[in-house]
Amino acid sequence: MATKGNKDGVQWVVPDPKRENWYWPSDALRQHAWVSDPKIYDQAKADPLAFWAKQAEGITWFQKWSKVYEDEPFAYKWFVGGKLNLSYNSLDRHVEAGRGDRVALIWEPEPLSEPHRTMTYKQLLEEVGRFANALKALGVRKGDRVGIYLPMIPEAVVAMQACARIGAPHTVVFSAFSAESLRDRLVDSGAKVLITADGYWRRGKAIDLKPQADQALPGTQVSKVVVVRRMGQEIPWDAQRDVWYHEITKGQPTECKPEPMDAEDLAFILYTSGTTGKPKGVMHTTGGYAVQVYTTAKWDFNLHEDDVHFCTADVGWITGHSYVNYGPLMNGVASLVYEGTPDFPDFGRMWQIVEKHKVTVYYTAPTAIRMHIKWGDEWPKKYNLNSLRVLGSVGEPINEEAWLWYFHLVGGKRCPIIDTWWQTETGATCVQALPGVGPFVPTVAGRPFPGIRARIVDASGQPVKAGEGGYLVLEPPFPPALLRGLYGDPEKFRATYFGEFGPKVYFTKDGSRMDEMGNIRVTGRVDDVMNVAGHRLATAEVEDALAQHPAVSEVAVVSKPDEIKGEVPVAFVLLKKGFQASEDLKKDLIKTVDKIIGPTARPSSIYFSEDVPKTRSGKIMRRVLKALVRGEAVGDITTLRNPECVEDLKRLVGYKG
């Protein structure tokens, strides 16, 4: 099979002659790259405002800004006075420039028997226009929030774009989230309209979505539900409230004037996990988000017009917002949307898609790579992956084994790995190597993107020396796409991000270290947030869900490292009187988690314990539980109110520390 394999494509990287597993861009990559001169870092550092103003000129403004940046504590602003529209920049811009016939979206359904769909920029613009007009006809106005609860189908992108077009902030909820999670987000955002579907395919099974959507609605302000027909299956229907997407868009004009949005107008709200049980509504505004997403998509992945960009994230996460939808589309490339899972119908599915559509940029999470490793080397080897040019990683620290496997088996030792550090809050990538500059090194993300000021400090806020561990912080001028607030909770916004080191220092909650060259290695969260299979989750959320079960009197959840998923939750449950520990009860507790949050949050183990370690003031000492499940030294427990319980817990978890 001489045509298969991935070693015959262009050589985009060369090894460092002195350092093992270090790679640099090849001449071919330097010539192809938007940026290949490292001087860009110093130039941007000397004048970050000029740097970002120059990048902002790469997109289209209806009205130019009067001031690049305003540095008010908790109220930083970018491109003050500027007017623009995200949908215009994603679509119209390319059509007006004569690129309307280029492919904008490639949709790969899960069933192999179903043909894929492509939409050109012109077709996507028309579809977005029709749906935007239909939303207006339903009464949606600028500033109204719209909930989106859709699977990975083209309409998910159409819906987000249509909202952006009319200035209605969307709030997308991951389709595998439960009805209760959806309800919380609809209530908090005050959404008027919800867009959902009649289901989707997952591992060969037809999955319902509409019953969950219906269940979420009581107590929300949603008065209309738009339903996309994906499956054609029977679904519950409320004739007063529900409308079909295909019916309300039929007959709508394709033209819909994009709303001129102020740079600081709210673009969308996306809920994410903090350390408390209640997810926070991260607010992103229009101008800064547009500029940073556009620039990072272009530079990180070195996007050119003929690229086929495949980001495997769901649109329910920030990665899907920025690098399935807005980033690739603002850059005029083809963005690939895949409906299903990587293991269906077999473990080669992703590589089959790469071969079929000649994907050039592949962007995924370390947890997915570790699954592929487990499935075996034969799967990527079966397919021709020569089209690949850049490989991206996001969501959690990438371990060396995963990096090397990705580099060798997927990239054929030809492609740079761009390990991008960022967060829901930063909206776009912040720390990574640039393809034309390098270096590409396992477990090391790279330098802060030009124009971004990131530092590593100790607990008192003082910078640490090269090689020493510390906390990753961002300093003004803040990244243009950094969140502007938490919806409806300005106090929490200040306390969460600026409580630690003061109003002018954004605390990322990540630990990290920097080498002599200024390359950053992010080691992981230092708060009670877990990264479960690349999904962000608070231990408190899982605790809240379990506590709702009638048998539970008290519960503590901690994270434990997992070979595939990175981290998994482990629960310690104290039962109420009259309840007996049993396997059935464990199953029932898991069902409760599924119902309240979704299956992503399932604990990997549940221990029924008599007691959990507590301080004298009654706070659960999760640090001790964490050490127990990880087999680490438990440390000083003399200050506990109930140190004797630690011995029992050691037996319970089979502690061998």
Nearest distance in Å: CB 592, ligand WTA:
24
Using an 8 Å Cβ cutoff, are 44 and 51 in contact?
Answer: yes
Using CB under 6 A as the binding rule, the residues of this chain from 312 to 371 that contact ligand WTA are 317-319
Nearest distance in Å: CB 510, ligand WTA:
5
- Distance of alpha carbon 294 from alpha carbon 300, whole angstroms: 10
- Distance of alpha carbon 198 from alpha carbon 235, whole angstroms: 7
Using CB under 6 A as the binding rule, the residues of this chain from 250 to 279 that contact ligand WTA are 272
496 binds ligand WTA (CB under 6 A): no
559 binds ligand WTA (CB under 6 A): no
Q: Which ranges of 390-502 would DSSP assign to H, the alpha helix?
A: 400-405, 490-498
How many whole angstroms from its chain centre is CA 519?
23
Q: Nearest CA to 541 among 527, 554, 557?
A: 557
Nearest distance in Å: CB 316, ligand WTA:
11
The residue nearest ligand WTA at its CB is 424
Q: Nearest CA to 105 among 166, 169, 60, 155?
A: 155
Give whichever of 394 and 551 is closer to ligand WTA, judged by the CB atom. 394
Dihedral angle of Cα 269, 273, 278, 284, to the nearest 10 degrees: -20
Nearest distance in Å: CB 322, ligand WTA:
8
Stretch of 139-147, 345-353, 389-397, 584-592 lying at the interface with ligand WTA (CB under 6 A): 389-397
Stretch of 394-402, 408-416, 447-455, 569-577 lying at the interface with ligand WTA (CB under 6 A): 394-402
- Kindly report the three-state secondary structure assignment for every residue of 552-577: EEEEEEEEEEECCCEEEEEEEEEECC
Q: Which two tokens stand for residue 402?
A: 């995963």
541 binds ligand WTA (CB under 6 A): no
Stretch of 132-140, 142-150, 507-515, 584-592 lying at the interface with ligand WTA (CB under 6 A): 507-515
Q: Which two tokens stand for residue 389?
A: 């040019």
Give whichever of 23 and 317 is closer to ligand WTA, judged by the CB atom. 317
- Distance of alpha carbon 28 from alpha carbon 149, whole angstroms: 42
300 binds ligand WTA (CB under 6 A): no
Give whichever of 303 and 533 is closer to ligand WTA, judged by the CB atom. 533
396 binds ligand WTA (CB under 6 A): yes
Nearest distance in Å: CB 275, ligand WTA:
12
- Distance of alpha carbon 1 from alpha carbon 31, whole angstroms: 31
Q: Which residue from 181, 531, 559, 600 is in contact with ligand WTA, where contact means CB under 6 A?
A: 531
Give whichever of 134 and 457 is closer to ligand WTA, judged by the CB atom. 457
At position 496, the amino acid (one-letter code) is: T
- Distance of alpha carbon 635 from alpha carbon 403, whole angstroms: 33
Give whichever of 70 and 563 is closer to ligand WTA, judged by the CB atom. 563
- Distance of alpha carbon 590 from alpha carbon 576, whole angstroms: 17
How many whole angstroms from its chain centre is CA 629?
28
- DSSP annotation of 599 reads G
524 binds ligand WTA (CB under 6 A): yes
Nearest distance in Å: CB 327, ligand WTA:
12
DSSP string of 2-64, one letter each residue: TT-BSSSS---EEE-SSSTT-EEE-HHHHHH-S---THHHHHHHH-HHHHHHHHHTTS--SB-
Using an 8 Å Cβ cutoff, are 192 and 140 in contact?
Answer: yes
Stretch of 11-19, 76-84, 354-362, 508-516 lying at the interface with ligand WTA (CB under 6 A): 508-516
User: How many chain residues interact with ligand WTA (CB under 6 A)?
Assistant: 24
510 binds ligand WTA (CB under 6 A): yes
397 binds ligand WTA (CB under 6 A): yes
Give whichever of 429 and 592 is closer to ligand WTA, judged by the CB atom. 429
Q: Which two tokens stand for residue 297?
A: 């998509």
Q: Nearest CA to 309 among 84, 115, 157?
A: 157
Give whichever of 147 and 274 is closer to ligand WTA, judged by the CB atom. 274
At position 86, the amino acid (one-letter code) is: L
Nearest distance in Å: CB 9, ligand WTA:
25
Nearest distance in Å: CB 309, ligand WTA:
16
For residue 628, which phi and psi values (nearest 5 degrees)?
-65, -45
Instruction: Quickly count: other Cβ atoms within 10 Å of residue 422's Cβ.
Output: 25
- DSSP annotation of 483 reads -
- Distance of alpha carbon 395 from alpha carbon 373, whole angstroms: 18
Give whichever of 212 and 424 is closer to ligand WTA, judged by the CB atom. 424
Stretch of 53-61, 185-193, 196-204, 523-531 lying at the interface with ligand WTA (CB under 6 A): 523-531
Give whichever of 508 and 609 is closer to ligand WTA, judged by the CB atom. 508
- Distance of alpha carbon 225 from alpha carbon 214, whole angstroms: 9
Nearest distance in Å: CB 432, ligand WTA:
7
536 binds ligand WTA (CB under 6 A): yes
At position 653, the amino acid (one-letter code) is: V
Give whichever of 157 and 474 is closer to ligand WTA, judged by the CB atom. 474
513 binds ligand WTA (CB under 6 A): no
Nearest distance in Å: CB 392, ligand WTA:
9
Q: Give the position of tokens 């409580």.
A: 499
Nearest distance in Å: CB 389, ligand WTA:
19
List the beta bridge partners of residue 225: 194, 242
Q: Which residue from 104, 128, 267, 394 is in contact with ligand WTA, where contact means CB under 6 A?
A: 394
Give whichever of 156 and 621 is closer to ligand WTA, judged by the CB atom. 156
Using CB under 6 A as the binding rule, the residues of this chain from 413 to 452 that contact ligand WTA are 419-424, 445
Stretch of 20-28, 255-263, 395-403, 560-568 lying at the interface with ligand WTA (CB under 6 A): 395-403
Reply yes or no: is the peptide bond before residue 477 cis, omega within 30 of 0: yes
**H/E segment holding residue 248:** helix 245-249
Nearest distance in Å: CB 365, ligand WTA:
8
Stretch of 26-34, 222-230, 388-396, 646-654 lying at the interface with ligand WTA (CB under 6 A): 388-396
199 binds ligand WTA (CB under 6 A): no
CA angle centred on 316, ends 310 and 322, rounded to 5°: 50
Interface ranges with ligand WTA (CB under 6 A): 272, 317-319, 393-397, 419-424, 445, 508-510, 522, 524-525, 531, 536
